Structures are given as C-alpha cells and as structure tokens.
Amino acid sequence: MQIEKTAAGVRAQVKAWKKEGLSVGLVPTMGYLHEGHKSLIDRAVEENDRVVVSIFVNPIQFGPTEDLETYPRDLEADRKLCEQAGASLIFAPEASEMYSEDFSTFVDAGKVTEELCGKSRPTHFRGVCTVVNKLFNIVAPDRAYFGQKDAQQLAVIRRMVRDLNMDLEIIGCPIIREEDGLAKSSRNTYLSDEERKAALVLSKAIFAAKAMAEGGEKDGDKILETMKNIIKKAEPLARIDYVEMVRWDTIEIHHTIDGPTLIAIAVFIGKTRLIDNVLLQ
C-alpha cells in the first residue's frame, strides 16, 4: 500500500496513471475507517482503475469547542483496511502540507449550507468545501465517493462541483448500519456502553419516519413530531440538536413530501453529537 504525505507525490503518481489511460477514484475521509468507509472504497475500486483514499483530519472544519484534538486516529489500521479493499494509494498529509501559515482562501457554498448542521456548526461547511476542493485539485479524480450518512455534505459537494464547473462525477453511497440499526460513525467510539444503547434512538426515529412516509403520510409536521416524541420520551440521555425535513436538492426547510425529500436529525448522546437521515425519493 503506497502512502504519500505530499501533494506533489500524489500528483506525480496520478499523472503516471493517467498517462497509461487509467481512471482514478477518490474517497475523501478523516480516517479511523470503518465498514461505512470500506463500502465507499469498494464502490470506487469497482468503478475505477486506481483509487486514492485521503486520510486527513481537517482542522478548518472543526469549531473552537469541537473534538479536533480528540478525534480518533489509527493510520496503521486504516492502511490495512485500504489495502484489503483494494485501494491503490493513501494520501495522508500533515496540516502544514494542506495549509500554509498565511492561508487565506476559502470556498463557501452559500445557502445550501445554512440549515441542518450548518445552523449549529456555522463554519463547518466552509472548511469541508475548502479541503475537498483542494483534494480535487491535488488528485484530479474522475469520480469521488461520499456517504449518504453525511447527506448535507453530499448535497453541498454536489452543488460546489456544479457551480464551479468541476470535471468529475460525485457518487453518493448508502448508509451502512450496525446490526442493531445504528449508523456507523467514527464518533461511535466515544460512546459508553450505556450511551451506545441510548444512541439507537436515532435510527428508531428515522425508521419510524420512513415507515410513515411509505405508508402515505405527506405531512412533515406530523412525521417530525412523531420523531421528536420518540427521542424525548424514549431516551433521557438524548438531547436534540435538530429534527428537520428539507428539499433534497436545495436543503431548504419544507414540510410536505412532494418530491425528493431528506429527513435528517442530529442528537447529542451525552457529549457526543450523532447524525442520521433518510432520503425519500
């Protein structure tokens, strides 16, 4: 498994691949990889001749009170997973490689970032768009792969690619869940045994919303109220950040299911903030 620490090293390798006529897929991650990440790598390996996995805990997408310093890291375990999945190269830069001391250029996707996670994490998506833009410039992939669990991020990246006329395809991949329904996340490792059980309230609320919608319910207020009741009444360790319904393409608040609709939640279990969602096509 090839590990590169510099943008120049990655560019040189990708240039050699493309000179051979090979296609390149990119899976951007912050590391501490799990089965959800592996599903993205698997898809990328199926659809491309070579696959780059970036592993970078991006400091500019964390707020001042968030978990940048404690975010879990294990590059050796990540290397093994990437190798087993068939990835070709890991790009694992230091922060100094990505951001010079006088770095001052950012990418802001505007309105699509303002609701859901953007409301409680106002600088988050500016950091995401900036680092992903840099990764696209460094790797020059034909396709890039993002998980549906971070649904707003997926929508934001698609908008950025469209608006800036970037020459690549963005592939969204399904949420991967534990056997009991909890969406896989690197932050699940923060949970105590008691909190881990409590975290199931997220998927219970999501599955209830999906069942209501599939049963013909179109009234978003009824669906959201049901979800809030499930979370508040069933789990004292849970604290709601948001429970919302939005139009999938614009991430605008919308309370009627009359087209592609995203129902998304963010809930604190103890000190750990978890997200989940369901996309209704």
Predicted confidence (pLDDT) per residue in 247-264, tens digit: 999 999 999 999 999 999
pLDDT class of 233 with cuts at 50, 70, 90? confident
Residue 189 one-letter amino acid = T
Residue 16's contacts (CB-CB under 8 Å, 6 or more residues apart) are: none
- The confidence score (pLDDT) of residue 147 equals 97
* Token pair recorded at residue 277: 């969602």
- The confidence score (pLDDT) of residue 235 equals 81
Q: Over the stretch 98-136, which tens digit does the pLDDT of each residue have?
A: 999 999 999 999 999 999 999 999 999 999 999 999 999
| Structural contact between residues 92 and 5, judged by C-beta atoms closer than 8 angstroms | yes
Q: Over the stretch 174-183, which tens digit does the pLDDT of each residue have?
A: 999 999 999 9
- The confidence score (pLDDT) of residue 1 equals 81
- The confidence score (pLDDT) of residue 84 equals 97
| Structural contact between residues 266 and 242, judged by C-beta atoms closer than 8 angstroms | yes
pLDDT class of 281 with cuts at 50, 70, 90? confident
% of the chain exceeding 70 in pLDDT: 100
Does residue 259 sit in helix, strand or coil? coil
pLDDT class of 189 with cuts at 50, 70, 90? very high
Q: Which helix (H) or strand (E) holds 241?
A: strand 238-247
- The confidence score (pLDDT) of residue 141 equals 98
- Nearest of 54, 59, 80, 57 to residue 141 by alpha carbon: 54
Residue 134's contacts (CB-CB under 8 Å, 6 or more residues apart) are: 98
Neighbours of 21 (CB within 10 A): 7
Does residue 112 sit in helix, strand or coil? helix
Q: Partners of 172 in the beta sheet?
A: 146
Annotated active-site residue 37? The verdict is yes
Average pLDDT (66-95) is 97
- The confidence score (pLDDT) of residue 76 equals 97
Does residue 71 sit in helix, strand or coil? coil
Q: What angle do CA 250, 260, 268 make, to 5 degrees?
A: 70
pLDDT tops 90 at residue 6: yes
CA distance 225 to 240: 12
Average pLDDT (154-175) is 98
Q: b or e along 82-103 (b: 16 or more beta carbons within 10 Å of the residue's beta carbon)?
A: beebebbbbbbbeeebbbeeee
Q: How many CA atoms lie within 13 A of 81 on its CB side?
A: 21
- The confidence score (pLDDT) of residue 42 equals 98
Residue 195's contacts (CB-CB under 8 Å, 6 or more residues apart) are: 237, 269, 270, 272
User: First CA to last CA across the chain, in angstroms?
Assistant: 39
| Structural contact between residues 279 and 260, judged by C-beta atoms closer than 8 angstroms | yes
